[in-house]
């Protein structure tokens, strides 16, 4: 892109797997100008600092480490003719595809005939978890730990505590082990670990004590972390440690959406989309972890591609108008276990319109076996919390 170019066919916000795959697909479909805006120094998203597998199976049928995966995706986008502008942060989303960006060269206003939002998700911080105690150095999320490991090859801890047992928690565990650090403990507030088998075997295999039904109550230390107080089935006790990693509890990176006054879903905390990936705000689309925290890179990559096909159809005028029939509000179970379902809105179908979300993605906050009612259909499900459940999309009238 030239500095003077301010209007684009499509602007993509975020150069992670979802944003880059969408940009590549848009170019493959013959879209004229496609700009990707990324706030980091380099494109690639989270995989850039994940020094481990598995990445790349769905995309290229190859097992890759995160940095190699990010490099390949970025190179494919450049080869396809995508403009990528790094160290540029989108600061405001305005009506009709107008966005404001900030970079070293100052503020600029850009316009897209369509804008794809692919800003990913972030982990829940210590403050949002309301953990008491002092505020020493050495309390962070997995992403920050991996930044240290990937970009300065430096592990700032020798005896740390990992809070959480999602897949990302085991990513933190692997990062520690690859830097010769054995965590003092992994803590999980539920009765079982969140990630699927075989992750449950990992702490034992690495001789790291796993404390179930245990929460972190306080962090101690003046300048650096010295210990934590945890509360478990046998009461409260203290663990000596020099760092605390709060893992998981992903939520969409929605600050920009909030400050721009966009509509958010109270369950997923992401924007409400229809089956074409469209938002209520005209010209805006979404894909990847911004829709919910968190899926695999391959899943987000595929979502980016599919939404790109809808954007291309939209630019040709082949998408029907968006309705406001909110099916997520109609989803119910006999217990309050439905965390969210998406797409939240079902628009009419049209002969030339590709569908990006051809299944309803449902997620539960607790384990549940029973019926889920969505509109006029009833589905029998049995699932643990935070697992992806796919159900048929409610039928839509033709436009």
Ligand X SMILES: Cc1cc2nc3c(=O)[nH]c(=O)nc-3n(C[C@H](O)[C@H](O)[C@H](O)COP(=O)(O)OP(=O)(O)OC[C@H]3O[C@@H](n4cnc5c(N)ncnc54)[C@H](O)[C@@H]3O)c2cc1C
Please state, in angstroms and rounded to a whole number, the distance separating the CA atoms of residues 392 and 359: 5
Q: Does 54 engage in binding with ligand X (CB under 6 A)? A: yes
- Quick one: which of 1, 29, 39, 147 contacts ligand X (CB under 6 A)? 39
Q: Does 139 engage in binding with ligand X (CB under 6 A)? A: no
Q: Does 339 engage in binding with ligand X (CB under 6 A)? A: no
Q: How far is the CB of 171 from ligand X (least distance, A)?
A: 4
Q: Does 34 engage in binding with ligand X (CB under 6 A)? A: no
- Quick one: which of 11, 45, 149, 184 contacts ligand X (CB under 6 A)? 45
Given the rule CB under 6 A, which of 51-59, 216-224, 316-324, 369-377 is the region that contacts ligand X? 51-59
- Quick one: which of 11, 23, 37, 195 contacts ligand X (CB under 6 A)? 37
Query: Which H/E stretch holds residue 390?
Result: strand 389-392
Q: Does 73 engage in binding with ligand X (CB under 6 A)? A: no
Q: How many Cα atoms occupy the beta-carbon half-sphere of 306 within 13 Å? A: 20
Q: How far is the CB of 394 from ligand X (least distance, A)?
A: 25
The number of residues in the chain equals 399
Q: How far is the CB of 21 from ligand X (least distance, A)?
A: 8
Tell me whether the omega of the peptide bond preceding residue 301 falls within 30 degrees of 0, making it cis: no
* Of residues 89 and 215, the one with the C-beta less far from ligand X: 89
Please state, in angstroms and rounded to a whole number, the distance separating the CA atoms of residues 261 and 242: 41
DSSP character at residue 397: -
Q: How many Cα atoms occupy the beta-carbon half-sphere of 211 within 13 Å? A: 23
SS3 content of the chain, % helix, strand, coil (to 5): 25, 30, 45
Sign of CA dihedral 70, 73, 77, 78: positive
* Residues 208-267 contacting ligand X, CB under 6 A: 253, 256
- Quick one: which of 8, 11, 26, 38 contacts ligand X (CB under 6 A)? 38
Q: Does 300 engage in binding with ligand X (CB under 6 A)? A: yes
Q: Which residues lie closer than 8 Å to 350 by C-beta, 6 or more apart?
A: 318, 319, 320, 398, 399
CB 287, CB 275: distance < 8 Å: no
Q: Does 55 engage in binding with ligand X (CB under 6 A)? A: yes
* Of residues 38 and 281, the one with the C-beta less far from ligand X: 38
Alpha-carbon radius of gyration of the chain: 22
* Of residues 27 and 49, the one with the C-beta less far from ligand X: 49
Q: What stretches of 81-215 show up as alpha helix (H) in DSSP? A: 142-151, 167-178, 202-205
- Quick one: which of 119, 173, 176, 193 contacts ligand X (CB under 6 A)? 119
* Residues 143-202 contacting ligand X, CB under 6 A: 143, 146, 168, 171
Tell me whether the omega of the peptide bond preceding residue 31 falls within 30 degrees of 0, making it cis: no
Count, residues near ligand X per rule CB under 6 A: 38
- Quick one: which of 8, 11, 12, 16 contacts ligand X (CB under 6 A)? 16
By CB atoms closer than 10 A (0-12, 13-18, 19+), residue 153 is: exposed
Given the rule CB under 6 A, which of 24-32, 181-189, 238-246, 289-297 is the region that contacts ligand X? 289-297
Contacts with ligand X, residue ranges (CB under 6 A): 13-19, 37-40, 45-47, 50, 52, 54-55, 89-90, 118-120, 142-143, 146, 168, 171, 253, 256, 288-289, 294-298, 300
């Amino acid at each position: 892109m030239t500095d003077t170019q301010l209007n684009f066919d499509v602007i993509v916000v975020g150069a992670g797997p979802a944003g880059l795959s969408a940009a590549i697909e848009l170019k493959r479909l013959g879209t004229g100008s496609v700009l990707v805006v990324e706030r980091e120094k380099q494109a690639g998203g989270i995989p850039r600092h994940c020094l481990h597998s598995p990445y790349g199976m769905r995309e290229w049928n190859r097992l890759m480490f995160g940095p190699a995966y990010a490099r390949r995706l970025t190179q494919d986008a450049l080869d396809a003719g995508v403009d990528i502008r790094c160290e540029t942060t989108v600061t405001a989303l305005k009506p009709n595809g107008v966005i404001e960006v900030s970079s070293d060269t100052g503020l600029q206003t850009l316009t897209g005939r369509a804008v794809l939002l692919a800003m990913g998700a972030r982990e829940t911080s210590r403050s949002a978890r309301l953990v008491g105690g002092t505020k020493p150095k050495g309390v962070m999320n997995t992403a920050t730990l991996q930044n240290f490991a990937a970009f300065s090859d430096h592990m700032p801890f020798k005896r740390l505590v990992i809070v959480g047992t999602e897949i990302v928690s085991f990513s933190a565990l692997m990062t520690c082990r690859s830097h010769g650090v054995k965590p003092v403990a992994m803590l999980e507030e539920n009765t079982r670990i969140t990630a699927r088998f075989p992750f449950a075997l990992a702490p034992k295999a690495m001789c790291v004590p796993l404390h179930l039904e245990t929460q972190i109550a306080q962090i101690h230390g003046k300048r650096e972390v010295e210990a934590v107080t945890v509360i478990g089935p046998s009461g409260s006790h203290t663990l000596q440690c020099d760092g605390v990693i709060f893992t998981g509890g992903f939520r969409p990176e929605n600050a920009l959406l909030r400050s721009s006054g966009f509509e958010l879903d109270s369950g997923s905390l992401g924007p409400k989309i229809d089956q074409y990936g469209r938002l209520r705000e005209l010209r805006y689309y979404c894909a990847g972890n911004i829709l919910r925290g968190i899926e695999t890179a391959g899943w987000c990559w595929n979502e980016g591609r599919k939404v790109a096909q809808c954007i291309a159809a939209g630019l040709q005028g082949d998408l029907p108008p968006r309705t406001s029939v909110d099916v997520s509000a109609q989803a119910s179970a006999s217990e309050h276990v439905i965390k969210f379902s998406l797409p939240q809105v079902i628009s009419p179908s049209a002969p030339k319109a590709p569908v990006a979300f051809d299944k309803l993605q449902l997620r539960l906050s607790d384990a549940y076996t029973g019926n889920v009612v969505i509109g006029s259909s009833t589905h029998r499900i049995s699932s643990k919390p935070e697992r992806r459940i796919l159900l048929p999309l409610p039928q839509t009238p033709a436009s």
